[in-house]
Every structure is written in structure tokens, then in C-alpha cells.
Amino acid sequence: MSSTIDSSPVARSSPLRRPLFRGRTPTGTQSTLTVALRRLVMATLVVVTHLALGIAFWTVMDVDGWSIPEMAMFACFLLSLPWIVIGFWNGVIGFLLLRFSRDPLAATAPCATLAGPDDAIVARTALVMCVRHEDPERMIRRLDVILRSLDRTGHGALFDLHILSDSTRDDDADDERRAIEGWRRGLDRPERVFYRRRAVNAGFKAGNIREFLLSRGDGYELMITLDADSVMSGATILRLVRVMQANPKLGILQSLTVGLPARTAFARMFQFGMRASMRSYSMGAAWWSADAGPYWGHNAAIRVAPFRDHCGLDELPGKPPLSGPVLSHDQVEAVLMRAAGYEVAVLPEEGGSWEDNPTSLPDFLRRNLRWCQGNMQYLKLLRRPGLPLVGRLQLLLAVLMYAGAPAWIGFMIAGAVQAFGPPSVIGELDPPGTFPVGLSIGLFMTMLTLTFAPKLMGYLDVLSDPRKAARYGGASAFALSAAAEALFGFLLAPVISFSVTVFLIGLLGFGVCVGWEAQDRDGHRVGWREAAAKLWPATLFGLALSAALAASAPQVLFWAAPVLASFLLAVPFAVLTSSETLGRLAAQARLGVGPEETSAPAEVRAICDALPPLGGFGAPLAPFRFDAPLDGARLTPAD
């Protein structure tokens, strides 16, 4: 079944045709004037910061005239700024709210304050998990935990589970069906679990969900979307449902999703840094995005009727690779929901919503490039009629998130060329060795601070509150983890930018696409041959850049060392950080420890039956039986 949408209802009833400051947002919880003023403040901060940095860089470059490489550096610098500057102010605003606001929730998601913890649950809700060539036992284990956690709340009867398969290989589909049938036979109420496999995978995940809504959606008011690696507690699901019930004009409510305890060093450090930046970044972004928040495609509550009626996606016309089904569908669906007159909000509360993170550098790069390909399709959606201005901005920012990578790589290449002293096109000749290193250092440090500001704000928030630090094993353990993650981030970021740059050249120049298959959820040890095969271009680029700087501007090597190290060490970095042994050593050294390890909820204990030893934080978790019931705080240990 193909996915289509008639955009005319949106255009006819669009709230954008009403007066700009009519009164309240659709849920009635925010003043449109207040929201507009917040966005004006954010826009002013971003524009002023962008201009100030542009002027500073112009001053550096204009010391001795302009050369062609310097002009290229200036253009790349300006192109890379928007995403960095917005991230900086999101982090700063989020930190200020977390530390100094009396009620951060009321400031960022006031719709959530209308729901009480004891409100009756009346909405029929579908739990919807899309799968494609997934490990059936792994998938079922997560679903079993979610259902048992819901049943423990006493409200499980109001929830049905739908497993929507897009597996194209018959043997995988047969394994799915047998595993689900065997699991259903052991359930108290097997009639609430449904499995459906599509014969034609039109529209990928978005098309899968849309087909479900058209065939079964009438039976539900809400749905909770799940990925194959999603885990949610019953209490968190009920929290989302209660907020949706209290706000009939709330279309999508996205939960904050954090990483499950991980075995490999890569996943441990990656999710530690992600969690730190997410805390402040999401709070700051929610402050100004207000009723036009994001949707991340999973672990979210959705109002079925408007999503079905207004959020279907046409296939994009034109030639590949940007035509065809919309791959990064979630943010487009959020924009369409807001265009239809419903709010989209983030619930900025940690806890009860988890996912797995990539276990190795190659796995992360593969996932990141899939998102990159999908986000580039937004270029064709920016001029779609009926979309709110903030929605268009969010689609543009999603493009700029990846456009900044080639700008950064281009900046480095132009800088290396400039160091050889090419002839100026404006002003006097730049002799070799006159690159303004001294003036550049201050700007370099400023950019470094801006780039890592969301993480720094998240770290500062935890360290400034002993109660928060205790959840991470104490202030000293957290500070040590933050330092280790900073080193990890320095080694990771340049390789990511290089991979995105190479991919975009292939995507836009030669139509090379990345496949959308199942992720390697459990991971594997990356071997030296595999790492070298995937990362030799980055290593070669690092060698060439190092040689160019050493020959022309050796005084720059010290400041370029973190970036050069990322390229030169990419292969050993990928191999070593994929190791579970190194992951266990990191856990024993209290590196990357999160709240789920210091005090594991029952749902996490049920999923992570082979957590690494927790060192001084407690005894290692015992393995649990797959069919063991939840009994309060933990599962029954296996014999």
C-alpha cells in the first residue's frame, strides 16, 4: 500500500492563517505572544553570535590581505556555524532552566503539568513496534518486559501490542512468526498481541505504520511507537498517556530516551556524552520550540486520528537519490502534525524510556549516514505549502546538521593550502609562514567551547548538584568520566565529519546511497582488517593533512593535534573501543557509569542480563530467566 496525503485540509484549516498573536497555543497552555518572544530572543542570540564570530574570523583573515584559500575558509566557516551556535544557546538556556528555574517543566512543557499521577487511564492505546530482519528472541524479550511492566500498573488491559514486520526474507519472517506464536502461548492474555507482515514494503517504516493506522487505527485513540531496541516502563507509558488525555490538542509527546547499560567501551562513552548533552540541549530547545517540538520516531505517544489524517507522506518526485519515500520521516511528521493545528512537545523528564546505542564506530557511522541520506531529502520539502515557519526552520536545521561536516573538512583543506602561502587576490601577497596563528588561537578556543557547550552544560548541571552526581557514582567518578568522554569526543568527531563529507560527495555527486537494513543491535568485535577497510580514507586524509602542515606551518601542528589524532588513530580507535573487555575495565574504573547501573530499574535488569561488573557500586547483576515474571523491584534470578 502506498503512502499518500491530501495536503488541502492542512492548507484550509492551518492555524497559520489566524492572527499571529491570537492568544494561546492549541493546548491552551502557552501564550502565543510568549512563544513568539522566546523565539525572537533565540533568533537574536543566534544571529548576533553568528555575526560576531564572522567578524572575528574576517579580522583574522584580513590581517595581510585575502587569498583564494582564505576566502574558501571564510565561506566554510560561515556554513558550519548555524548548527554549532544553535547548539550552544540550547545548552546554555537549558542549563539556566535546570539550575535556576523554579519549575523547568512548566517553562518548557506546560501541557505536562495538567496531568496528575492518579488520573484515570481511559484511552485505548496501541503499542506499535516496527521490525525488519531483527533477532526475534531479542525483540520479544523487550516486548515481554514492557507488557509485564504495564500489567504491574494495573492498566495493562487498555493496551494492545502490534508487531509490524517489514522483513523481506522468508526465513527471517518464519522465525519471527514462530517466536511470537510461542511467546503468545505463554501469556495470560495472548489476544492483545498481534503480528502482521507486509507483502510490499512501500514507504519503509512510515509506510508500515500508515498501513496499520488505515487498517486498525480506528480502534485506538493513542499509539506508542517503539523501535526494535526500545524499552519503556509501564509507569512512563502511563505518564505519556495521562498527559495526552489531559490535552486533546496535543498530537505528539516525545519522551527523553537514554541508552541502556552497554558492554563495549564505545557504547558506554558515546551514551554518557549523549546523555549529558541531551539533558541541557533538549531543555533549551523545548523552551523556544514550545508547541512545535521534535519527534524522534520512537518512544513517543501519538494521537492516532490526526496522525493518520494529516501526517501521511507522499513519495518525493524527481531523480534519485533524493526522490522516493521520505526516509527520515519523523521530523516531517512532527511538522505536519503542528501544521494541522496540534501541538508537538517533548517531555523533558529522564527515566523509564531506553534504547540501545551503537556498539562500535563502524555501526555508528552506518546509522549516521542513513540519517544523513534521509535528512538531505528535506531540501525538497522546504517549500511545501502549509508548513509553519518554525517547521521549515527545523527541517533546514536538520540539513545543516550534516552540511556542517563538509564545511569543516573543506575548512581544514583550505587551511592546509593557505599555509603554503598562495598568492592573494585582494591586498598584498601572503608570504609563506605568515598565517596569523596567534590571532587564530583565541577564535579556535572559542569555537571549541561553542561546539562542546551542550555537553559542558550537562556536566556542569550534574556536578553542581550532589544528588544528581550520586546517580552517576559520585562527583569524582562523574568528573573522571567526563574527562574520558572529552577525549573520546575529540577522537570521534573529526572521523564523523569526514565520513559524512565522503558520503555526501557520493550521494549528491554520484547517487550512491546507503542501505536501510536492520542494525547490528548486539554488536561484534571489530577486527583490524574490517576497521582498516572502512577507515583507511580517513587515515590517509590525516596523513596528507599532517604532512602538509608539517611542511608549511609546523607551528600549527600543536593546535591541530586533536583533529589529526582522530584521523591517524581511527583504525585502532575503532578496534579497541568495540571491545567488551575494555568495556568491563571501563566499568570497573567507574568510567561512563549511568544511573541505570548504580540503581537499575526492574525493566533494565530484565533486559541487560550480562551487565559488566559495577565495581564499587554494587554486586554484578545475576542472569535472569527469559520467562521470569517481574516481582516488584527485580526479576527472579535464574537457577
Supply the DSSP symbol for 291.
T
Contact by Cβ (8 Å): 386, 287: no
Nearest-angstrom CA–CA distance, 178 and 181: 5
Look up cell 539533558; give the residue: 279
pLDDT (average), residues 533-561: 92
Distance from the Cα of residue 438 to its chain's centroid: 37
Residue 431 has a pLDDT of 53
Nearest-angstrom CA–CA distance, 462 and 482: 11
Long-range contacts of 81-85 (CB under 8 A, 24+ apart): 81/50, 81/53, 81/54, 82/46, 82/50, 82/397, 82/400, 82/404, 83/397, 83/400, 83/401, 83/404, 84/404, 84/447, 84/450, 84/451, 85/46, 85/49, 85/50, 85/53, 85/450
Nearest-angstrom CA–CA distance, 496 and 538: 10
118 contact partners, CB below 8 Å, separation of at least 6:
none
Give residue 199's pLDDT band: very low, low, confident or very high (50, 70, 90).
Answer: confident
Give residue 443's pLDDT band: very low, low, confident or very high (50, 70, 90).
Answer: confident
pLDDT (average), residues 585-612: 84
- For residue range 350-391, list pLDDT tens digits in order: 889 999 999 999 999 999 999 999 999 999 999 899 999 999
Helix (H) or strand (E) holding 514: none
Contact by Cβ (8 Å): 126, 160: yes
Query: CA torsion sign, 417 to 421 to 422 to 426?
Result: positive
Look up cell 496499520; give the residue: 212
Contact by Cβ (8 Å): 436, 64: yes
Q: At what angle do helices 361-376 and 389-418 cross, to 10 degrees?
A: 120
Residue 519 has a pLDDT of 67
Give residue 439's pLDDT band: very low, low, confident or very high (50, 70, 90).
Answer: low
Residue 628 has a pLDDT of 39
The pairing of beta strand 193-197 with beta strand 300-303 = unpaired
- For residue range 601-630, list pLDDT tens digits in order: 999 988 885 444 333 323 333 333 333 333
Contact by Cβ (8 Å): 175, 183: no
202-221: string of b/e by CB count within 10 Å (b at 16+)?
bbbbbbbbbbbbeebbeebb
Nearest-angstrom CA–CA distance, 357 and 355: 7
Omega before 321 within 30 of 0, i.e. cis: yes
Give residue 637's pLDDT band: very low, low, confident or very high (50, 70, 90).
Answer: very low
Contact by Cβ (8 Å): 324, 316: yes
pLDDT at 53 over 70: yes
Look up cell 547483576; give the residue: 621
SS3 sequence of 395-443: HHHHHHHHHHHHHHHHHHHHHHHHCCCCCEEECCCCCCCCCCHHHHHHH
Helix (H) or strand (E) holding 226: strand 222-226
364 vs 2 pLDDT, higher one: 364
Q: Is the pTM of this model over 0.85?
A: yes
Neighbours of 15 (CB within 10 A): 17
Give residue 7's pLDDT band: very low, low, confident or very high (50, 70, 90).
Answer: very low
